[in-house]
Amino acid sequence: MTAGNSGGFAVDWFTLALINAGLAQGKGRSGMNWGLLSLLPGPLATLLLVLQASPRPDGR
Burial of 14 (0-12, 13-18, 19+ CB in 10 A): middle
**CA nearest 49: which of 58, 60, 33?**
33
Q: pLDDT value at position 60?
A: 56
Per-10-residue mean pLDDT of the chain, 60 residues long, equals 63 85 88 85 79 70
Residue 8 sits at the vertex; the CA angle it makes with 5 and 10, to the nearest 5 degrees, is: 110
- pLDDT for 4 equals 59
What does residue 14 show for φ and ψ, rounded to 5 degrees? -65, -40
pLDDT at 49: 79
pLDDT of 2 reads 54
User: What does the pLDDT read at residue 59?
Assistant: 58
In whole angstroms, give the CA distance from residue 49 to residue 46: 5
